[in-house]
Amino acid sequence: MKICEILDRSKDPFISFEIIPPARGRSAKEIYEIIDELIEFNPPFIDVTSHAADSYYVEQENGTFTRHIKRKRPGTIGLCAAIKYRYKLEAVPHLLCQGFNRQETEDALIELNYLGIENVLAIRGDQLQYQKAHISGREVNEHALDLVKQISNMNRGKYQEDILDADESDFCIGVGGYPEKHPDSPSSAADIRYLKQKVDAGAQYIVTQMFFNNQDYYDFVDRCHAEGINIPIIPGLKLLTRKAQLNSLPHSFYVNIPDELVKAFEGAENAHERAEIGMAHAVKQCEDLLNNGMGSLHFYVMQDARLVKKVAKKLNLV
């Protein structure tokens, strides 16, 4: 079932989750264990992130460094197939602009179509240290808007090369939204205009970046509606559970953490107390969103399934 249909038909609030593939060389068992932890909440869909190749450096014995290039977390398509057929849930693979050309993206979409996976999330992806050399005749999607257009073209039977009587795909397209503004947008107003372009190009629902102040989400929804964006906007949530996240999350995701939450974390005596503070804040966020009519909540799980499970249980949405 398409995500837009799930959102339209759902009578009761629900929780969905986002997970990341295991690191290269690790078993999918650890991912199945995470899903097994969360399955009791009947998530109608699970997102699986995608990761392009990037570079890293290894120090040699003589003190020099060698550059290595690899995808550290392959397996998005395989995991999505497992989720759909092992757990009977809808899987939403992330498709990236960064690190992939349009031909590679088309191949991935064809594979997903063959697997019966109907939903994709189209995002630009993080800027990479490693940029693949452009092969002659191979085009890239510079922005998420370009990626949405490519998927929409396939839904109309238009591929990268002219194919007579090509079959149409039928993907439901999701895109990301940024309550606190995308870091590369010149202004909040421009950010909403860019988002509207993606909606006009074929996006059917929006999942927001994590936020820790619900008013940021409500203001974002109001700005979207004022711009004529009327597709579902799913709030994305992340548990703040470790002190290191006070620096890592704002640095990596360009989000603000409320000062009262920062003070509480800084005053906590141990890791257990900080986890309890973070979970309490998440529960408060969720209850406020649900009380204000939100029909769905989307958790960025990463490896915090146990703590996410505790929060979900307190919401009584099983």
d(CA 225, CA 219): 10
The label of the residue with tokens 């009947």 reads: 42
Instruction: Check the CA dihedral 174-180-185-190 and report its sign.
Output: positive
CATH number at residue 297: 3.20.20.220
Residue 287's domain comprises 3-314
pLDDT in tens, the chain (318 residues): 999 999 999 999 999 999 999 888 888 998 999 999 999 999 999 999 997 755 444 555 555 555 444 567 789 999 999 999 999 999 999 999 988 899 999 999 999 999 999 999 999 986 544 445 555 556 899 999 999 999 999 999 999 998 988 999 999 999 999 999 999 999 999 999 999 999 999 999 999 999 999 999 999 999 999 999 999 999 999 999 999 999 999 999 999 999 999 999 999 999 999 999 999 999 999 999 999 999 999 999 976 799 999 999 999 876
* Token duo for residue 191: 């950010």
Split into its structural domains, the chain has a count of 1
As to burial, measured by CB atoms within 10 angstroms (0-12 exposed, 13-18 middle, 19+ buried), residue 199 is buried
Interatomic CA distance for residues 297 and 232, integer angstroms: 12
Only one residue has tokens 């990268």, namely: 160
Measured distance CA(299)–CA(295) in Å, rounded: 14
Long-range Cβ contact pairs of 243-246 (< 8 A, separation 24 or more)? 243/268, 243/271, 243/274
